[in-house]
């Protein structure tokens, strides 16, 4: 290696090691390192929005890659939903480069979309990240979700009528992006408050992009954020919230045990046709067990990224329990047919 390159490498190492001497940053980094070390074997990638959270994550990920000699990719997604999005993506790329963080911009094809913009943006963001990760043979995507996001998502799902599984699903540090992919989302900052990430960003790179949509009341998340702010004034703390979430998680774990028992005991997978036969006892379990079991086998057969909508599952189960009609039904990529005392679920032809 040339002398100049060695000098640059030493300089950048010194910058990060110096910043890690800050007690607050060091504490957060140790927590971060502990969260990811068992999940990363070689390379990984970081989803960068340019906001304060992802800039802090970029700093922590760079520190980890330098300390452990791991290859890390940084991907900035330009959603093309705001007039300045491309300018901001390039600005973030330039700023990160000045700290020896080399990133790639992934651009969403511009599509006119007027409703549910945030959900639309999230879907496109993950589609691009998955595609790039598969190309680079990466199976871990780091995101900057933090404890404030955890509380916000809980209330958003509560308002949308989510069940127990939906309410606690975001709290997992690691989860699959898509059912049939081997790409995982890792949320190493999920128990770190936003104020700590603001501190890191300001005291390291001293740069981040403000997204005006974070102040727009037309978005449900912004309304929820204001609601939570009022609840904090009335005594809500993350520790209290996490305690309740942990209790819900224990209940969910118990339900999952009986869901898997129902699937194992009362269904058979036909490898040749990729179908599943449900025995008579499958539908005779408690309602929540049947609902979850049925949703899981439907997802397995239909190979969908998400479960079928709850109300459609409920209606289908009601039909299967109350009729002797053997006509076929279709839902979520599956063909469902009752056959005397059993039900067969087969994939639709594609």
pLDDT, tens only, 162-218: 888 888 888 888 887 765 568 899 999 999 999 999 999 999 999 999 866 666 677
Give the whole-angstrom CA distance, residue 204 versus residue 218. Answer: 33
Question: So what's the pLDDT on residue 2?
Answer: 54
Give the whole-angstrom CA distance, residue 26 versus residue 246. Answer: 27
72 lies in the same domain as 214: yes
Number of neighbouring beta carbons within 10 Å of residue 331: 17
Residue 223 lies in a domain: yes
The reply to whether the predicted model has a pTM over 0.85 is no
Radius of gyration of the chain (CA): 23
32 lies in the same domain as 119: yes
Give the whole-angstrom CA distance, residue 198 versus residue 153. Answer: 20
Residues 6+ positions from 231 with CB-CB distance below 8 Å: none
Question: So what's the pLDDT on residue 145?
Answer: 93
81 lies in the same domain as 158: yes
294 lies in the same domain as 321: yes
230 lies in the same domain as 281: no
266 lies in the same domain as 225: no
Residue 138 lies in a domain: yes
Assess whether pLDDT exceeds 70 at residue 113.
no
Closest CA to 176 of 305, 23, 335: 305
Average pLDDT over residues 111-137: 77
Report the number of distinct structural domains present in the chain. 2
Question: So what's the pLDDT on residue 257?
Answer: 96
284 lies in the same domain as 185: no
What are 41's two structure tokens? 């074997």
Mean pLDDT across the chain = 87
Its domain, for residue 219, covers 3-236
93 lies in the same domain as 224: yes
pLDDT, tens only, 283-292: 999 999 999 9
156 lies in the same domain as 24: yes
Closest CA to 139 of 103, 177, 189: 177
pLDDT, tens only, 327-348: 889 999 999 999 888 999 999 9
Give the whole-angstrom CA distance, residue 6 versus residue 16. Answer: 16
Residue 241 lies in a domain: no
pLDDT, tens only, 1-38: 555 555 656 677 899 999 999 999 999 999 999 999 99
CATH number reported for the structural domain that contains residue 161 in this entry: 3.40.50.620
């Amino acid at each position: 290696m040339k002398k100049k390159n060695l000098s640059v490498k030493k300089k950048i190492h010194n910058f990060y090691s110096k910043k890690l001497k800050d007690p607050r940053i060091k504490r957060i980094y140790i927590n971060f390192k502990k969260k990811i070390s068992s999940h990363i074997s070689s390379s990984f990638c970081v989803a960068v929005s340019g906001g304060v959270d992802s800039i802090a994550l970029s700093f922590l990920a760079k520190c980890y890659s330098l300390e452990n000699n791991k290859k890390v990719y940084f991907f900035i997604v330009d959603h093309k939903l705001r007039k300045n999005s491309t300018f901001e993506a390039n600005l973030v790329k330039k700023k990160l480069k000045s700290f020896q963080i080399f990133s790639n911009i992934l651009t969403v094809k511009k599509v006119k979309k007027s409703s549910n913009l945030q959900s639309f943006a999230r879907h496109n963001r993950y589609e691009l990240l998955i595609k790039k990760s598969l190309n680079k043979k990466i199976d871990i995507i780091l995101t900057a979700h933090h404890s404030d996001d955890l509380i916000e998502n809980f209330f958003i799902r509560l308002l949308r009528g989510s069940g127990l599984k939906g309410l606690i699903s975001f709290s997992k540090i690691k989860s699959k992006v898509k059912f049939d992919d081997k790409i995982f989302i890792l949320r190493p900052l999920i128990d770190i408050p936003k104020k700590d990430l603001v501190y890191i960003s300001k005291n390291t790179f001293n740069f981040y992009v403000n997204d005006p949509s974070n102040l727009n009341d037309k978005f449900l998340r912004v309304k929820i954020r204001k609601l939570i702010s009022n609840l904090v004034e009335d005594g809500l703390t993350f520790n209290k919230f996490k305690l309740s979430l942990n209790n819900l998680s224990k209940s969910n774990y118990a339900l999952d045990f009986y869901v898997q028992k129902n699937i194992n005991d009362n269904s058979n997978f036909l490898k040749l046709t990729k179908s599943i036969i449900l025995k008579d006892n499958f539908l005779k379990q408690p309602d929540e067990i049947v609902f979850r079991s049925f949703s899981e086998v439907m997802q397995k057969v239909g190979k969908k990224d998400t479960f079928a909508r709850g109300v459609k599952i409920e209606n289908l189960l009601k039909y299967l329990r109350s009729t002797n009609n053997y006509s076929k039904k279709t839902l979520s990529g599956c063909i469902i047919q009752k056959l005397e005392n059993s039900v067969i679920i087969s994939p639709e032809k594609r």
